Chains A and B, each alone.
Chain A
Amino acid sequence: MANNLTPAQRVALARHQDRPGTADFISALFTDFFEQRGDRLCADDGSILGGVALFHGQPVTVIGHRKGRTLEEHLAYHFGMPSPEGYRKAQRLMEQAEKFRRPVITFIDTPGAYPGLEAEARGQGEAIARTLALSSALTVPVISVVTGEGGSGGALALGVGNRVLMLENAVYSVLSPEGFAAILWKDSSRSDEACDVMKLTATDLLELGVIDAIIPEPPEGAHTDLHRVCKALDAVLVKELAALNKMNGQALATQRYKKFRLMGSKAPRKERP
């Protein structure tokens, strides 16, 4: 493990142009993947990639952010920043997972939800809120894996899992370090400084109880040995899914609810100022 990297260096690795994306993880971990497209309302947002696949023979629903590899794809997928149509597609797939009693496995890799005019007009906030609400109550296992950048509500929408895993050099934060510095210090160039105080690395988040396990990466990052990373991830997924498969639907929903219910629940009491 490359434990001596600074948070800013991990951010750079998480954003590396060769960083494996959802499509890479799907082909490495699953078989028989069938992509499902469209939100059945008005559009198909390619920045959310989803469908059904087999995981060691068990049908699962897979949903993840897609940044794309080529410039053309980057532009088409807004660098992995979903629009409301993407989140509504995710909701549709989650509802089907519930119907067909399939576990849901999500891959998180986005700078955030797309901040555009049309995205706002079609209800970006509502789309994310609904996805959060729906996924919180699913009665099938949900495992989320933060594979690259986990940025803001756009990432969290796919992150309400019974288990939340994170690759060693992935990052997960309330906002990009640049946005954070811009809002707090009115200076987006202080992003390295932001990285240091944001607690966005896997180790920090494990300590805070936001994630459950860290998947190790080679010293130079996941892109240098995808096979090794996927082997480690596969082993954890097999173990966690086996445990979750034994739970009934209500227990799964309750466990997930309690997990998020406890986050930041220990606010102290103070006298009136």
Chain B
Amino acid sequence: MSNVFAQRRQKLLSLKALRGNSPVPAHTEETCPACGGTFRRRDLVMARYVCPLCGHHYPVGAYYRLSLVLDKGTFRELEPALSSNDPLSFPGYAAKLEGARRRTGMNEGVVTATGRINGQKVAIGALDSRFFMGSMSAALGEKVTRLVEYAEKYKLPLILFSASGGARMQEGILSLMQMAKTSAALERFSRKGGLYISVLTHPTTGGVTASFASLGDIMLAEPGALIGFAGPRVIEQTIGEKLPEGFQSAKYLLEHGFLDAIVPRAQLRDTLIQLLKLHGKGGSDRGK
């Protein structure tokens, strides 16, 4: 039994570290899953969870991601209490949801908020792959839609970090309908002159790729992110051959015309500052 608690404690500690608010023991060794190189864990944290040797971008949680780009102390979370209600009464889903909520301390796979970037107020959100792989539930679609509506109402630039395995299978057709709902909200926002910057992180696939993630005025991605509609395994099965190296990588998308830029995590805040400046507060007449 104590073993269970020990594991829980370990998990909580690592989560805390991911949020970037806990001191990390300097002596812990870390091995990069991409290059196999080893370094001190502290160096990894200092580098914003980017491998100091090869530049591999580790997946990070939503709160930590937002903390990297927002001005200190400006983060104000919107709708933190919204949660899935198991709309299809899917066998076993309620218990799984409960487990995910307890494990992550989150109610859904997206964090939405307002904050400031270099003083400019923004509406901002980030999907979190630790919660059901950031999959699209009705509640996730609802939170994203409310964020878009908030940005429209207060004339704020909108920034969304995507990371998703696709649809939330347990919510079936209602998951699918979120693609229409979020896309429709973004279209309204866009026609009113709103600026939307979409940042694709590892991995962004399925229904999220085929809706809000692909509709940015500016499309950015993190280095090495896998981005696509169909998963690589499904495509290999369909065409009956191995996929080329680098297929569906951020670089591949850039070369095929679907991204404006690939931006390393360390430069993202500066890039956002530049883009906000270029758009004159994102078509907004308020917010400063």
Interface residues of A (CB under 8 A from B): 113-117, 119-126, 128-130, 132-134, 136-137, 152-153, 156, 159-160, 172-175, 179-180, 183-184, 197-200, 205, 208, 210, 256-257, 260-261, 263-273
Contact = CB atoms under 8 A, between A and B. Distances in A.
B35 interface: no
A137 B215 CA distance: 14
Given A116-B238, A125-B213, A267 B180 contact: no
Contacts, number: 200
B46 interface: no
B83 interface: yes
A217 to B, nearest CB: 20
Contacts of B85: 266-268
A165 to B, nearest CB: 15
Nearest to B248: A120
Interface stretch (B22-30, B53-61, B153-161, B227-235): B227-235
A47 to B, nearest CB: 14
B285 to A, nearest CB: 23
Given A174-B176, A175-B167, A264-B142, A130 B215 contact: yes
B138 A264 contact: yes
Nearest to A153: B210
B173 A173 contact: yes
B201 to A, nearest CB: 15
B76 to A, nearest CB: 16
Closest 7 interchain pairs by CB? A264-B138, A115-B230, A136-B184, A125-B209, A267-B139, A132-B183, A269-B81
Given A152-B176, A172-B173, A267-B142, A197 B215 contact: no
B180 A273 contact: no
A133 B169 contact: no
Given A117-B239, A125-B214, A260 B184 contact: yes
Contacts of A184: 169-170
A138 to B, nearest CB: 10
A249 B85 CA distance: 35
Interface stretch (B10-18, B37-45, B87-95, B273-281): B87-95
A261 B183 CA distance: 10
Nearest to A205: B173
Interface stretch (B118-126, B185-193, B261-269): B185-193
A180 B213 CA distance: 23
Nearest to B187: A133
A117 B176 contact: no
Contacts of B252: 121
B172 A261 contact: no
A125 B138 contact: no
Interface residues of B, number: 71
Interface string B219-232: 00000000111110
A267 B84 contact: yes
Contact of A268 (B83, B170, B176): B83
A230 B91 CA distance: 38
B112 interface: no
A251 B178 CA distance: 22
B239 A116 contact: yes
A260 B215 CA distance: 18
Contacts of A124: 210, 228-230
A260 B80 CA distance: 23
B127 to A, nearest CB: 15
A200 B90 CA distance: 13
Given A153-B229, A210-B177, A269-B83, A129 B184 contact: no
B67 interface: no
Contact of B141 (A125, A180, A264, A270): A264
B138 A260 contact: no
Contact of A267 (B83, B215, B227): B83
